[in-house]
Structure 1
Amino acid sequence: MNQRCTGTGGLPVSIRACRRQWGVWMLALASAPLCAWAQQAASALSPASAEISTLPAVTVTATRAQTATKTDAPLIETPQAISVVTGAQMETQAIQNINQALRYTSGVVAETRGGSATREDFQYIRGFGPFGTNYLDGMKQPYASFGFFQNEPYFIDRIEILKGPSSVLYGQNSPGGLINLISKRPTTEPQHEIFVNGGSFGRVEAGADLSGPIDADGKLSYRLTAVGLTGATYVDHTRSERAAVAPALTWRPDANTTLTLYAQYLHDPRSGHFGYVPAQGTFLDNPNGRISRSFFDGEPGFNHDSKTQAAIGYELDHRYDSGWRLQQSLRYAHLDSDLAMVYGTGLASDLRTLNRAAFTDRDTIGALTFDNRLERAFDTGPLRHSVLFGVDYQHTDADARWLFGAAPGIDAFSPVYGQPVAAPAVPLLDQAQRLSQTGLYLQDQIRLDRWVLLAGLRHDWADNDTHNRSTDTSTTVRDTATTGRLGLLYQFDSGFAPYINYSTSFLPTTGTNWKGDPFKPTTGEQWEAGVKYQPGNAHGFVTASVFNLVQDNVQTLDPDPAHGPFAQAQSGRARARGIELEGHADLNRNLSVIANYTYLDNKVVRSNGPDLGKQPVSVPRNTASLWLDYRFHDSELPGVVGLNAGVRYIGASYADVANTERVPGFTVADAGVSYTKGSYRLALNVANVFDRRAVICSNGYNACNYIQPRTITASLRYLW
């Protein structure tokens, strides 16, 4: 159920101890100087901008999404569970990466590497993942080894999370679902913003988002978004640095045609920390005391982690007079990743000395993705059809080289750095891989009065050619798969819409059995039923769903000892059953609310290993969250004061596949205050207000991570 890249689970992280402060009073104390600062800024405004702002409440409710049907269908008419994180929500919560943006979303566990690992976007959806779930503008973002495309949150307009098997429109995919990030695009109306943030651990960030028409007729419009940041992390000897820019140009030659050209460049000279801390001394007792959150398990002169990625592409939308609509999306992306680390492998018998190893990895990825689809609406008697026919293509060239070596141990409680580390020389992986997939899909949304039937069918051809340079051998795997989806929904006048659906997925796997035969793709199959509710004013949206999800062809130990101790067979099965409750509501111009609860009963129901009947690693059975945002439009101040607060509960999970190592659950609180006056917005956000010290383990008790400690972010935005 946990699809893990070989090697990614065995490299460790650590974290920095902040002094315990009176978190319960901190927000109240901090808000006083903030309001004073806001009043000074307000007095400097021009008369035109000095009018009292009448901004509405933060919009947390979305009513439409592209991801589920590729047709921008209303959520209330889509018979499948979908969550949407709006751009306003991300801004209000002052998120610093995509993982943090998903904290208040049902069915998603997004920070399984704690708060220090910021070099990747890893998410579990309904207990499955964390690889193969990330999409940008409807097209998959590939990964290879430790090379992961990342997304700058300031470039994102919203995030759409589609729950359950989704291969019918997207091809090979994790059975838990997918996370589709929708980029900002040029606007026909002028809008401009600049911002600066500052906060804990010396983090400083600045950016600009400029958009609007270029010519008087509005046929050409542009958008230029840029951001830069630098700062330390809460782990000693580590930093996060980024420079990124995303230009886009839209041409509208007539009312029926839109062509958008875009590019993106992102460079991370330093990507935070990517190690682990052991359990003894974090949440388990250790006679030597507690390991500091700031403890760095690497060597400052050896560890480094940098990434450079770029993309260019276009989006075409044309409506023909015949009623057909053509949409095309094409993107080419390239990634270079350079990772070197000394990392902890577990405590010695004295429970003080941390054993370590050294590792280097170089990854390059070149990826071309293309999606071409035709859509048309027509009637056949009382039936209203919306038919979608598409063909998509993905091609990825990936190159990876891992080297492993020894490294000296270090005192985890009183570290002394500067020990010599020999360059790793043992090759663990040295390969070039070429992946391609071609898919044909057909979908029909049929409406009859208040009934909505959604039916889809797809066939894929997937190829995987791998050349192992260490052994000078090549392997080729050819897979085909047919997947589908069938959903039915009924809309009542009251705003309720019960639904049921069935969907399937496939995901190619690597490796061979004892005879050398390539493994088949894993397959996913889900039944889901639920009810959606949208009031007449469309200022709220609630979804309740139950589901039963099964993944087959999962690799497990070969039961025949004659085939060798490491032989694998594809006789495993993983199952997820659960309940998801999620609600978003903009109750009035003052108050917005987000609430969700998830119960997951995930088990390995067929296996020849110790995971039989066990819960998957890092996936809690229960999660819940609540977020409130309130704005005082009628206060005595000449502007709008906003207060927000949230609480997140992450239940207990397991650190190992045999479920012998239980990691306690925890609750975290977030809060913020803002002041909006004219074109200015000042804000102060605090994540983990009470500085909760908790740990997540993802690959045994030697591979744990602290969650993000109390983190303060102050921001100033100017819009015109």
Structure 2
Amino acid sequence: MSPSLRLTHFLSATLLSCSCLTAVGTQSASAQDAIVLDAVTLEGGSGAETAGDGEGGGLQADGFVAKAATVATKTDTPLKKVPQTVNVVSRQQLENRKVQTLKEALGYTPGVRVGAFGFDPRFDSFYIRGFDVTYNGVYRDGLREMTGNFSIFKTEPYGLEGISVLKGPSSVIYGGGSPGGIVNLVSKRPTEAPFREVETQIGSNNRYQASFDASGPLGGSDNVLYRITGLARDADTELRSASDDRIFIAPALTIRSDDRNTVLTVLGEYMDFKTGGNASYVNENGKITGLESGDPAFGDFDGQQSRIGYEFEHRFNETLTVRQNLRIAHIDADVKYTQIGAISADRRTASRTAWRIVDELDSFVVDNQAEVHVDTGPVKHTLLGGLDYSYVDVDDSYGFGPAPDLDLVNLNYGEQAIATPGLNLVSTTTQQSQTGLYLQDQLEYERFVLTLGGRYDWLTAKNFDYMSALSTEQDDEKFSGRAGLAYLFDNGISPYVSYSTSFAPTIGRSATGATFQPTEGEQEEIGIKYAPDDLNLAVNAALFRIVQTNVLAQDPDNLLGQIQRGEVESRGFELEATTSLMTGLNLTAAYTYLDMEITRGNNEGMFPSGIPEHQVSIWSDYTVQGGKAEGLGFGAGLRFVGESFGDDANTYKNDSRILVDASLSYDFGKANPRFEGVSAQINAKNLFDKRDATCSSGYCYLDEGRNVIGSIRYRF
């Protein structure tokens, strides 16, 4: 969606006292144009070829294959016992594909739709099982990343150990969120084994990057471990007005007792970035043109983000463990851009306006947990009780003013002075808090694993509009639940069934003054997992049905208003296989079938736009293990995106497309011991430079073109 359309939606919502901070539903234009994810927790390990020991942060992985994750239960649970789909992108996958963004990282994950808004370096927007998770579906180390309108955390994949995706409603342990699922980003953590690496990259669009990562015991003590990760990048993009510059630093410290029963890990991060404020192309008559709407003379999106927090755990005995995870975070976003409004009749000039958005966000999140292991006769219980709290305060200011016309004959981008407009249109403060109390029991009897959980949430949202001096306040309460049953066969097969619910706060009122209720989601899922003990292989298949109710829809009696009568249903099938073999072969393959329908509200009976019915992906890489070619590696990937509708009225379609990725690498230490730790790698994304248009909600975008990155790394 273009920034002007995004702003139009925002202004309409503001007039109705509806905060975009918690925009939800497939029909939400704000959510469709932004970033992010809810999350899962991943482990700090990364396989034999990567840094770390394969464990930490709640995830265990061997190469491409995940073994356990805390994302679904907040307890150390093997994935075969979890009665819900969990997909993992391990550290080794991130390195082998040389992932640069969160969207890239999730591009081979079943059920995840990336690219619905084409190339947009501003945000990592994506869908899970057809539902947007940009604003309320991304977590960092098990704690939600709170967001505003443009104050949305950017993700640096080099600072991650891995990514977990929990499918379906997850409110029972995480509170308000998308019915599609959550994404959990796991930060790199200190390692016991000393580790150091430096890496340089050069690539397409004048890309230059240097990074480093170091970890190990501090001061010779086994009880104090450190890690520090950093990166600096200077780069352009295929858009004239958008750069991709970044400075990133992430320190971490672990302090633990001699008996390892008490562990404190402190995690910090600071990022300064610059990209473009407008990533859109002008649309005419429902089709995209090659005319960029932004201008490099006034088009920078400058941002700074920081966070610091800790994870504390104390194990009293075999029965009782307590934890507290806490984080405070801050974002400053200053967005400047031009917007083309109209093209002259003689097609020689385009009229423009200049816009500025300033966002400031402060957030606090804490999660207190107690885990108890008890037996009642032959039944083993893993009980988890928790109390969590989140708070976010967002200041938004908008303004616009005139900009000189663009000369369409000479395309004089960047050659005219453009005055910075005042913040004269919107100025609001939004505060939102959520308190949740939850209880979960994992019961194991012989081969059966039954998971039961319930949660109650209290939510408060306040909004003050400085322009009108109007304030609003809204309170909501909601109960969520989950029940799932798995059966474990000796051969590694584990079938399961589950039912789960979710909600997401919807702040605002209708034109008649009626308070909007939280949207609600429920999912039924049946699946089967296969993870044999004697082979590093995981295969997962699932059938699901999700229904989201109380979705906002346009008020037929008030075009600027909304009513709460919408409903969306998503039914589908997912299949995923991952393996990492001793022979040097890695593989991940996925297929998604999705059948969605707007069952109530605007465009009833239609398929939501931008979401394909079929998606297929496969990535495989191989490293020669012996002979003269030992250390030589090569990989290739294919991503098929099926047809989708370009608008919610289903009047036209986006074509299907196939995108190809590739890699080539060499470990110089295999040829000569003097070069131990030195390796080179080349990765190409969209190798054949296929740039097709894709439309969503009636606005069209362009896919990102070919991007090639070469890197040299030294580990010591």
Change (3 A) 1:649 1:322: closer
Q: Deviations over 1:594-617 (max 9, x none)?
A: 10011111111001x3x2112222
Question: CA–CA distance in 1 between the matches of 2:369 and 2:326?
Answer: 12
Question: CA–CA distance in 1 between the matches of 2:501 and 2:547?
Answer: 9
Change (3 A) 1:630 1:106: same
Q: Deviations over 1:103-126 (max 9, x none)?
A: 1000111233322x2222212111
Please name the residue that 1:438 is paired with: 435
404-413 vs 543-552, which moves further = 404-413
Q: Deviations over 1:51-71 (max 9, x none)?
A: xxxxxx992111111111111
Question: CA–CA distance in 1 between the matches of 2:625 and 2:342?
Answer: 55
**2:101 aligned with 1:103, yes or no?**
no
Identical positions, percent? 38
Please name the residue that 1:125 is paired with: 128
Please name the residue that 2:678 is paired with: 680
Indicate conservation of the 8 Å contact 2:113/2:127, yes or no.
Answer: yes
Please name the residue that 1:333 is paired with: 329
Question: CA–CA distance in 2 between the matches of 1:162 and 1:477?
Answer: 29
Please name the residue that 2:522 is paired with: 525
Indicate conservation of the 8 Å contact 2:278/2:293, yes or no.
Answer: no
Question: CA–CA distance in 1 between the matches of 2:32 and 2:168?
Answer: 25
Question: CA–CA distance in 2 between the matches of 1:489 and 1:140?
Answer: 28
Question: CA–CA distance in 1 between the matches of 2:307 and 2:64?
Answer: 30
Please name the residue that 2:620 is paired with: 628
Q: Which ranges of structure 1 fall in alignment gaps of 5 or more residues?
A: 11-56, 285-289
Q: How does 1:265-664 map to 2 (within 5 A)?
A: 265-268=270-273, 270-272=274-276, 274-278=278-282, 291=290, 296-321=292-317, 323-345=319-341, 354=350, 356-410=352-406, 414-417=410-413, 418-419=415-416, 421-424=418-421, 427-559=424-556, 561=557, 564-607=558-601, 609=602, 611-637=603-629, 639-664=630-655
Alpha-carbon distance, 1:618 to partner:
1.8
Alpha-carbon distance, 1:217 to partner:
4.1
**2:248 aligned with 1:250, yes or no?**
no
Indicate conservation of the 8 Å contact 1:548/1:578, yes or no.
Answer: yes
Question: CA–CA distance in 2 between the matches of 1:413 and 1:537?
Answer: 67
Question: CA–CA distance in 2 between the matches of 1:622 and 1:335?
Answer: 37
Question: CA–CA distance in 2 between the matches of 1:687 and 1:147?
Answer: 28
Alpha-carbon distance, 1:254 to partner:
2.9
Alpha-carbon distance, 1:150 to partner:
1.4
Change (3 A) 1:413 1:619: farther
Indicate conservation of the 8 Å contact 2:454/2:482, yes or no.
Answer: yes
| Paired residues, number | 656
Indicate conservation of the 8 Å contact 1:297/1:412, yes or no.
Answer: no
Change (3 A) 1:620 1:120: same
Describe the SS at the equivalent of 1:168. helix
Alpha-carbon distance, 1:571 to partner:
1.3
Q: Which ranges of structure 2 fall in alignment gaps of 5 or more residues?
A: 1-24, 35-60, 670-675
TM-score normalised by length of structure 2: 0.88
Q: How does 1:253-264 map to 2 (within 5 A)?
A: 253-255=257-259, 256-264=261-269
Q: Deviations over 1:61-109 (max 9, x none)?
A: 1111111111121111100001000011011101111111111000111
Higher relative contact order at CA 8 Å, sep ≥6: structure 1 or structure 2? 1
Q: Deviations over 1:222-263 (max 9, x none)?
A: 001111111111112431111111111111123211111221
Describe the SS at the equivalent of 1:566. strand
Indicate conservation of the 8 Å contact 2:64/2:580, yes or no.
Answer: yes
Change (3 A) 1:538 1:251: farther
Change (3 A) 1:426 1:213: closer
Please name the residue that 1:37 is paired with: none
For 1:537, give the aligned amino acid: D
Question: CA–CA distance in 2 between the matches of 1:210 and 1:717?
Answer: 13
Question: CA–CA distance in 2 between the matches of 1:224 and 1:377?
Answer: 35
Alpha-carbon distance, 1:283 to partner:
7.1
Change (3 A) 1:449 1:690: same
Describe the SS at the equivalent of 1:91. helix
Describe the SS at the equivalent of 2:464. strand
Q: Deviations over 1:375-400 (max 9, x none)?
A: 01111011111000001000111100
Question: CA–CA distance in 2 between the matches of 1:582 and 1:328?
Answer: 34
Alpha-carbon distance, 1:590 to partner:
2.0
645-654 vs 473-482, which moves further = 645-654
Describe the SS at the equivalent of 1:232. coil
Question: CA–CA distance in 2 between the matches of 1:348 and 1:450?
Answer: 72
Indicate conservation of the 8 Å contact 1:445/1:453, yes or no.
Answer: yes
Alpha-carbon distance, 1:457 to partner:
0.3
Indicate conservation of the 8 Å contact 1:4/1:131, yes or no.
Answer: no
Describe the SS at the equivalent of 1:305. strand
Question: CA–CA distance in 2 between the matches of 1:618 and 1:411?
Answer: 33
255-264 vs 403-412, which moves further = 403-412
Alpha-carbon distance, 1:216 to partner:
3.6
TM-score normalised by length of structure 1: 0.87
Indicate conservation of the 8 Å contact 1:248/1:260, yes or no.
Answer: yes
Change (3 A) 1:505 1:428: farther
Pairing partner for 1:710 from 686, 706, 711: 706
Question: CA–CA distance in 2 between the matches of 1:690 and 1:273?
Answer: 28
For 2:355, give the aligned amino acid: F
